[in-house]
């Protein structure tokens, strides 16, 4: 009933508008203005002028808002490569903003300046090869500089993770949360098989591989400051994407194709809180690093949060010790499994 009212009201409104418009048009015709007398009217100058107004208001708005928005951006990158990519980002931004600004000066002032005048003729200027060569080459040079510097950074970030000082963390995306697994005392993350996944063994850990017995699966990510942290990323149902905004880390999690990303965290959670407190940020004491999902994965895509804690190496060692292996928490489950050469394995692990 309401919708019917809305629809009727809408139609009547449009009809009324049409009538008003028709009347205005007829008045114009009655006045003898057939719309072709002058090539342009006063609206030509107004439109030209509005581009200038838009330019001034627009750039004033950008200048004003950019200042106040900047304080809400993410804090300084908490990883080594992030500091470099951030710098590159702001350099690129400065360059393109300059281009944006300069081209718009011409684009928005020329219309008013060169608006139609009956007694003037436009300047016949079909081409100028020199000019075109110049504005082909200059962007090419600027872009080359940006690309080469970007390529260097990219190659470093994507280089194979160093073997020494390395901490490996397995991250698995599933609908709709992240799960993580650490290697445990043997420093080797055990093998998995997606066929072994069930309600209990959500990683599909294959206990034929003895490396699995000391693996543990905490509810939050811990990593030591200054170490080479290698994320081994996988997904078990659909695509997900690991996104750690504070570390400038992102990598898709792909079912059937493990991916990885390594980086060096540079700021512990405590240090970051201290820094934010010094900057006077609200809730600085409650600050936590976070991981999100950036590849649409279904209904609760927006809620795949996991907390990240960066410790000092000492704190991290302590935390490692406090963790209980998944096996120790699920002994009954594992003992029921029919494992190849089970006696041997249990013997090794006793």
Partner 1 sequence: MATAHVDIHAHAHTHDAHGHGHDEHHDHHEQSFLEKYIFSQDHKVIAKQFLITGLLWAFIGGGMSGLFRLQLGFPDADLSILKPLLGGWLTDKGKIDQEFYLALVTMHGTIMVFFVLTAGLSGTFSNFLIPLQVGARDMASGFLNMLSYWFFFISSVLMFTSIFISTGPASGGWVIYPPLSALPQAMSGSGTGMTLWLLSMAIFIVSSLLGSINYITTVINLRTIGMSFTKMPLTIWAFFITAVIGVLSFPVLFSAALLLLFDRHFGTSFYLSEIYIGGEALSNVGGSPVLFQHLFWFLGHPEVYIVLLPALGMTSEIIATNSRKPIFGYKAMIGSMLGIAFLSFIVWAHHMFMSGMNPFLGSVFMFLTLIIAVPSAVKAFNYITTLWRGNIVFTPAMLFSIGLVSLFISGGVTGIHLGNSALDIQLHDTYFVVAHFHLVMGAASFFGMMAGVYHWFPKMFGRMMDEKMGYIHFWVTFVGVYLVFFPMHYIGIAGFPRRYYSWTNFDAFNIPAFVDLNMFISIAAFLTLAGQLVFGFNFFYSMFRGRLAPANPWNSNTLEWTTPRFPGHGNWEGDIPTVYRWPYDYSKPGSKTDFIPQHIPLSQTPESNNEHDEHDLKLEKELV
Helices 129-158 and 80-113: crossing angle, nearest 10°? 160
What does the block give as tokens for 116? 């139609």
- Nearest distance from residue 46's CB to partner 1, in Å? 8
State the nearest-atom distance from the C-beta of 320 to partner 1, in Å.
Answer: 26
Please, what is the minimum distance in Å from the beta carbon of residue 136 to partner 1?
Answer: 6
The site string for partner 1 over 216-245 (x = CB under 8 A, - otherwise) reads -----------------x--xxxx-x-x-x
115 vs 227, beta carbon nearer partner 1: 115
64 touching partner 1, by CB under 8 A? no
CA 308 vs CA 16, 34, 80, 83: distances in Å: 60, 71, 17, 19
The rounded radius of gyration (Å) of the Cα atoms in the chain is: 32
Q: Which of 219, 61, 174, 41 is nearest to 117 (CA)?
A: 41
For residues 181 and 246, which CB has a smaller minimum distance to partner 1 in the complex? 246
Binding residue for partner 1, selected from 59, 83, 146, 315, defined by CB under 8 A: 146
Residue 99 within binding range of partner 1, rule CB under 8 A: yes
Q: Which residue, 50 or 339, is less far from partner 1 as judged by CB?
A: 50
The residue within the footprint of partner 1, chosen from 16, 60, 139, 335 (CB under 8 A), is 139
CA dihedral (262, 267, 272, 278) positive or negative: negative
The distance of closest approach from Cβ of residue 12 to partner 1 in the complex, given in angstroms and rounded to an integer, is 14
Q: Kindly state the tokens that stand for 328.
A: 């120790």
By rule CB under 8 A, what string of x and - marks binding of each residue 247-266 to partner 1?
A: -xxxxx-xxxx-x-------
The answer to whether 68 and 279 have CB atoms below 8 angstroms apart is: no
Planar angle of CA 156, 162, 166, nearest 5 degrees:
125
User: Cα–Cα distance between 181 and 169 in angstroms, integer?
Assistant: 6
Residue choice 8, 23, 27, 65 for contact with partner 1 (CB under 8 A) = 65
Q: Which is nearer to partner 1, 68 or 348 (CB)?
A: 68
Query: Does 285 interact with partner 1 (rule: CB under 8 A)?
Result: no
| Smallest separation, CB 54 to partner 1 (Å) | 7
Are 231 and 225 in contact by the 8 Å Cβ rule? The answer is: no
Residue closer to partner 1, measured from CB, 96 or 329: 96
Task: Enumerate residues 6+ apart whose C-beta is below 8 A from 213.
Answer: 184, 190, 207, 325, 327, 345, 349
Per CB under 8 A, contacts with partner 1 among 291-350 are 292-303, 305
The CA distance from 100 to 123, in Å, is 26
The site map against partner 1 for 6-45 (x = CB under 8 A) is --------x--xx--xx--x---------xx--xx--xx-
Minimum distance from residue 213 beta carbon to partner 1 (Å) = 22
The span from the first CA to the last CA of the chain, in angstroms, equals 74
| Contact present, 234 and 189 (Cβ < 8 Å) | no
Kind of pairing between the strands at 166-174 and 177-182: antiparallel
Helix (H) or strand (E) holding 80: helix 80-113
User: Measured from the CB of residue 169, what is the shortest distance to partner 1 in angstroms?
Assistant: 17
Q: Which stretch binds partner 1 (CB under 8 A): 48-56, 216-224, 272-280, 336-344?
A: 48-56
Per-residue x/- mask for partner 1, residues 103 to 132, rule CB under 8 A? xx-xxx-xx--xxxx--xxxxxxxxx--xx
**Is the Cβ of residue 208 or residue 294 nearer to partner 1 in the bound state?**
294
**Of residues 152-191, which lie at the interface with partner 1 (CB under 8 A)?**
153-155, 157-158, 175
């Amino acid at each position: 009933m309401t919708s019917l009212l809305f629809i009727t009201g809408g139609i009547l409104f449009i009809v009324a508008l049409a009538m008003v418009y028709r009347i205005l048009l007829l008045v114009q015709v009655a006045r003898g203005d057939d719309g072709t007398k002058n090539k342009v009217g006063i609206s030509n100058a107004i439109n030209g002028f509005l581009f200038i107004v838009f330019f001034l208001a627009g750039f004033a708005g950008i200048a004003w808002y950019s200042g106040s928005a900047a304080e809400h951006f993410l804090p300084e990158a908490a990883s080594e490569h992030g500091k470099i990519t951030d710098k590159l980002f702001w350099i690129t931004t400065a360059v393109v903003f300059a281009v944006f600004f300069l081209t718009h000066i011409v684009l928005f002032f020329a219309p008013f300046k060169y608006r139609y005048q009956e007694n003037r003729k436009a300047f016949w200027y079909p081409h100028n090869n020199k000019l075109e060569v110049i504005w082909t080459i200059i962007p090419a040079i600027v872009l080359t500089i940006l690309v080469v510097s970007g390529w260097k950074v990219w190659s470093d970030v994507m280089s194979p993770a160093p073997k020494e000082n390395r901490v490996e963390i397995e991250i698995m995306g599933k609908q709709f949360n992240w799960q993580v697994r650490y290697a445990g005392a043997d420093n080797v993350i055990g093998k998995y098989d997606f066929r072994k996944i069930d309600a209990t063994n959500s990683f599909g850990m294959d206990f034929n591989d003895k490396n699995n017995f000391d693996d543990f699966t905490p509810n939050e990510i811990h990593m030591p400051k200054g170490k080479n942290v290698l994320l081994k990323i996988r997904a078990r149902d659909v695509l997900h994407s690991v996104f750690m905004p504070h570390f400038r880390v992102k990598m898709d999690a792909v079912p059937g194709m493990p991916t990885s990303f390594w980086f060096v965290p540079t700021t512990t959670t405590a240090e970051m809180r201290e820094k934010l407190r010094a900057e006077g940020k609200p809730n600085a004491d409650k600050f936590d690093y976070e991981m999100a999902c950036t590849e649409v994965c279904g209904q609760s895509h927006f809620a795949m949060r996991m907390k990240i804690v960066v410790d000092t190496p000492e704190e991290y060692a302590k935390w490692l010790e406090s963790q209980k292996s998944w096996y120790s928490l699920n002994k009954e489950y594992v003992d029921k499994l029919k494992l190849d050469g089970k006696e041997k394995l249990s013997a090794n692990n006793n």
